[in-house]
Structure 1
Amino acid sequence: MPERPGVLVLMGSGETAPTMVEVHRSVVGRFGRGPRALLLDTPYAFQENAADISARARRYFADSVGVKVEVASGSGALIEADWVFSGPGSPTYALDHWRGTEVGAALKARVGSRSGATVLASAAACTVGVAAVPVYEIYKVGAEPHWRDGVDILSSLGLPVVVIPHYDNTEGGTHDTRFCYLGERRLSQMERELPDEVAVLGIDEHTAVEIDLRAETVTVRGRGALTVRRQGAQTEFPTGSTLALAELRELAKGVSGFVPAAPVAQASEEESSSATLAESVQRCESRFDAAAASGDAGALSEAVLELEGEITRWAADTEEDEGGVDQARAVLRHLVARLGGLADLSSPHDRLAPLVDPLVALRGRLRKEGAYDTADAVRDALAEGGVLVEDTPQGPRWTLRS
């Protein structure tokens, strides 16, 4: 029997979004048909809507990736499972239930044995290093910037690092929310508190870092980049980049002079061009505005229908960053309301047709009945209103006087 593939995938965000479908498919595909797949729900298990999040994630993996996923909370089948996934929620809650527990030990064992696929994203990805960012406590509650001890799964790969997802986040608009909502000021402060041998691995949103545990290669996939940051200096690997795990270790240790190779072509055109939900909403709004300016009623409807289709595609997204599906639905309702207000964009001919067509038909019936004088009076009345009626071999045709 061939050895089971070994792969670790760290995602910056978008783990149940269309942007990561091709990444998931390629990883799951390594295990053939019907792999045993587990969803570890720990990071969000405390939420009141935990069951709904699990249901949406299972639907996403079944419909978009083609794999049936079981929900698990404990260590039970973690070692035997072909594919294990964990993603959104609270890094702190996950740490409280993984660090020093059987679950954390099982996750470490999966990576250390170089067997099976382990996919950790967003909150779960935060936990895999020497230390972890307690993002909610700092960004939402106002705690002083500090680190929590991590599960340190990456130590078995010779990587003394901290992992920061959402590295290129821009949700703050007027304030800096990069680096998982820390911003440059707080991250710089926290970096000084790390041991000298520890580096930062930053993973952009809708980006995956795929580590082949047997070939010891690292590939960046998705939309953004992997950044290795150490004491203010950083090296960036854009999507499509591939490097040896040994090279990543050297960078994490601060060895200078390493020049990243040119990125290779993406494995899939869909993977490289897939837009985020926020970008799709913006595109549909722009199309709607252009159609409104040009009076193109058909294009107005197409823009609204395209947005509705994007909302359907993203319905399973469990993280819903940048407002997510709820915000997109609000935009959809706004566009539909505007569409109703712009209903008079149809041509004057189309607007008058409900009034003129019956009068032209009445004139035709009068002519058939021999009431030519009355028929001519109807024609003349229409002409006074700017409607010119012309009799053709195909029947009467009317136009508006220019």
Structure 2
Amino acid sequence: MAAPPDAPVTPPVTSADVDAARELLHGVIRSTPVAGARTLSDLVGTPVRIKCENLQRTGSFKIRGAYTRIARLGAAERAGGVVAASAGNHAQGVALAARLLGVRATVYMPERAALPKVDATRAYGAEVVLTGRTVDEAVAAATAAADRSGAVLVHPFDHPDIIAGQGTVGAEIVEQVPDLGTVLVPTGGGGLLGGIAAVLRARRPGVQIVGVQAAGAAAWPPSLAAGHPLPVGGMRTMADGIAVGRPGEITYPQVAGLVDEIVTVGEDALSGALVHCLERAKLVVEPAGVAAVAALLEHPGRFPGPVVAVLSGGNVDPLVLLQVIRHGLVASSRYLTLHVQMPDRPGALAELLARVGTLGANVTDVAHSRISGALRVGEVDVELSLETRGPEHRDTIVAGLREAGHAVTTPG
């Protein structure tokens, strides 16, 4: 288990709690499909299936926990309304759950939250307040507002009802994949991971349960090593949905007591996983939502199969999607930028581009610079942006240009 051997912990949420939440959610949520992933299976050498919570109502698993929490409030608590904080997915889950249950909702979101997520939250009927730079700052503002107004704070992960609701994902996986070997779960605060673990540990005790964090926002590994929740500073990742600065007081014992391992993935793996889901699975998934797929790409052969990779959400800003796709294409060497130092004479550029064409690359952009300390008199630096067919083609292009006598450098 993930907990240090000298620090036993008792998980606060059980499989029975998840079963009760599942009854409550019947007719409210979708039982999302588990899809085969043949190409991904071939890449990593083990059978892989993907649990498509990006196809859930509101575009992520968050409606499960939000509805469970709000539905269990008493009449007086409902009358006072609810307050929440989120970068987007929990916001939408709370907004829809509150509307379905006739409860007033106010949601605090970071000032730079994705506009589609802000608009969707408002469209579901919640009042949105933009505040702070991070989810943690928005949570602090929401907590203070709840204290002032008497409204109930619906925490994004740190409550037994939230964990139990999210755990219904695991209950579905058990039924959909009876021969499950490993489940990989995108992990921020730990509500989804802890809830899934409650079910799997009770019903499939031999299954490997693995949480996946972005390396630039990984609070769980140092917290588990210390034996208690620790804050992590300086978070930087495209996966804003799992960028949580500190595990919760309730999710910590849940995860520490039941989960086998937490792994981290880099930004290249996240962007590559997003492009893979778009191209091969035909699924739109946000950067946080593809963390489990990224773990398979970054650690092939590490996890016993069959593996289920949970796609936790699909709410991605189109502008972010464009940036991540570009990053993913660069990471997979399908988009190449290189610099060529060459004589500044008529026809030289045409000769260079002709050579690139014979090497099978598509030129998407060309830029000249005659001002550089690295250039000799009579030379020009040409920056080429190229579409390629992958790492081998990239190497062929660079080698071919150098064989033709060009001085070629590739940034990074």
- TM bucket by the smaller chain? under 0.3
Larger radius of gyration: 1
What TM-score do you get using the length of structure 1 for normalisation? 0.26
**Larger relative contact order (C-alpha < 8 A, sep ≥ 6)?**
2
What TM-score do you get using the length of structure 2 for normalisation? 0.26
